[in-house]
């Protein structure tokens, strides 16, 4: 009898625990709910704001959409359990983990591939429509609108392009010789300005102050550290020639790589698929935001032009020298952008790997780098970096030049 009573008590205790779990799962207080949210990463004694939207949370298959100006990045396969939400950032092998407390959440961005101190970044978020930066009511006393020379100590010249509205709203980006900062969004208040972005990989904040109508000082803050820079208004500001940064070594005219595809089959430019055609060779990494911008351009471009006697092949330099890991990450890239051209695994990203795979090049300066090969297999041009859609006019100029080069090579 005593054993029976203990069994019933134990069973009732387990049942209460089970009902408690069900209650937590079904409680409207601690569930991810649809609508706009404003988050803040806590980094370097600073707050880096970011905006996102939750959709279809009540269906059990929610999507989180990161918002940066005109950019929208959907994070799918979100899972919720009790008062927790797991938001995968598959493109960057990362995850956002959060505890939900009503209309608030707190958690961390975890870079799964990294064991560095900045591999985990804490954040908090509040549900509701709110500006990226709090409105202090202070009117802008200067304008960042236009093009700027950006000087970073011990680095090549950079270019800032910004658009500012009368209410102080600010959007734009900064171009470097290897790529751009993608979509920055923020505000100008008084003689100070603030910009931030978060596309799933590294949150960053720019805060600056005007030192005159045509000059400013600023700092860039990321989980990796703080760097200072200056700006001077210059409508003619430009970058070094992207076609002059990497070249073939003397004595070389073509590329001799032979690398495995994701199916294990080895591929080279001597294969029948590429022989006698114009070939665009894209050197990329699935972890590289600017490479994603180039892939977003190349994938539909290839679909529209492949019947003209042109091919595209990607050489992927990944975070790990592991074909299985590369296959997983590159499959995300391929699915996201609908890639139908070959992407080959070149090994772990780094100077030594690049020198071994592409000994013909003087030095690989950037991911992405785009190599134009003519019908005879001869390298004709090498373009370093990529100016993505956030750069506006620079992006349009790149596309015009790209198409002109390909058209000329096809016509030969």
Quick: pLDDT tens for 373-390: 999 999 999 999 999 999
Nearest to 281 by CA among 359, 343, 348, 362: 343
pLDDT band at 28 (very low <50, low <70, confident <90, very high): low
Please, which residues have CB within 8 angstroms of residue 51's CB and are 6 or more apart in sequence?
A: 36, 37, 38, 39, 66, 67, 68, 132
- For the four alpha carbons of 322, 329, 205 and 37, in that order, the dihedral sign comes to negative
Please name the CATH architecture into which domain 146-233 falls. Beta Barrel (2.40)
User: Which residue intervals of the chain bear CATH 3.40.30.10?
Assistant: 258-411
User: Which residue intervals of the chain bear CATH 2.40.128.120?
Assistant: 35-127, 146-233
Quick: pLDDT tens for 340-365: 999 999 999 999 999 999 999 999 99
Beta strands in 61-133 (DSSP E): 63-68, 71-75, 79-81, 84-89, 94-101, 104-111, 120-127
Whether the model clears a pTM of 0.85, i.e. scores above it, the answer is yes
Query: Is it the case that residue 2 has pLDDT exceeding 80?
Result: no
Q: How far apart are CA 115 and CA 317, in angstroms?
A: 20
Give how far the C-alpha of residue 103 lies from the chain's centroid of Cα atoms, to the nearest Å: 28
Mean pLDDT of 332-336: 96
Query: For 258-411, which CATH superfamily applies?
Result: Glutaredoxin (3.40.30.10)
Query: For 35-127, which CATH superfamily applies?
Result: Quinohemoprotein amine dehydrogenase alpha subunit, domain 2 (2.40.128.120)
Quick: pLDDT tens for 120-160: 999 999 999 999 999 999 999 999 999 999 999 988 889 99
């Amino acid at each position: 009898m005593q054993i029976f009573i203990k069994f019933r008590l134990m069973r009732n205790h387990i049942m209460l625990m089970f009902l408690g779990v069900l209650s937590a799962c079904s409680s409207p207080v601690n569930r991810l709910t649809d609508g706009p949210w404003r988050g803040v990463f806590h980094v370097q004694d600073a707050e880096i704001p970011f905006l996102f939207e939750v959709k279809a949370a009540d269906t059990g298959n929610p999507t989180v959409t990161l918002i940066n100006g005109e950019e929208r990045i959907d994070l799918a396969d979100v899972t919720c359990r009790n008062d927790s939400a797991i938001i995968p950032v598959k493109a960057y092998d990362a995850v956002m983990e959060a505890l939900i407390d009503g209309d608030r959440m707190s958690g961390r961005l975890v870079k799964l591939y990294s064991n560095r101190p900045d591999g985990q970044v804490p954040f908090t978020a509040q549900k509701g429509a709110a500006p990226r930066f709090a409105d202090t009511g202070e009117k802008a006393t200067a304008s960042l609108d236009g093009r700027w020379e950006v000087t970073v100590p011990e680095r090549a010249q950079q270019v800032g392009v910004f658009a500012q509205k009368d209410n102080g709203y600010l959007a734009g980006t900064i171009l470097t010789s290897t790529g751009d900062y993608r979509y920055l969004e923020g505000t100008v208040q008084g003689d100070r300005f603030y910009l931030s972005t978060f596309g799933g990989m590294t949150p960053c904040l720019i805060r600056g102050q005007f030192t005159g109508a045509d000059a400013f000082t600023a700092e860039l803050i990321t989980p990796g550290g703080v760097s200072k820079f200056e700006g001077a208004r210059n409508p003619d500001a430009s970058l070094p020639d992207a076609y002059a940064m990497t070249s073939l070594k003397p004595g070389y005219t073509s590329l001799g790589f032979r690398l495995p595809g994701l199916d294990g089959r080895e591929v080279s430019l001597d294969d029948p698929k590429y022989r006698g055609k114009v070939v665009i060779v894209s050197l990329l990494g699935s972890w590289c935001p600017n490479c994603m911008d180039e892939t977003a351009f190349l994938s539909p471009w290839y679909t529209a032009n492949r019947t003209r006697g042109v091919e595209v092949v990607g050489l992927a330099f990944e975070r790990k020298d592991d074909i299985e890991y590369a296959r997983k990450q590159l499959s995300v890239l391929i699915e996201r952008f609908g890639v139908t051209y070959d992407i080959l695994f070149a090994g772990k990203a780094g100077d030594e790997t690049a020198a071994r795979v592409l000994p013909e090049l003087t030095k690989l300066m950037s991911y992405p780098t785009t190599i134009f090969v003519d019908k005879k297999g001869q390298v004709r041009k090498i373009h370093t970096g990529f100016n993505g859609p956030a750069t506006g006019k620079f992006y349009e100029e790149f596309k015009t030049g790209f198409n002109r080069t390909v058209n000329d090579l096809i016509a030969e």
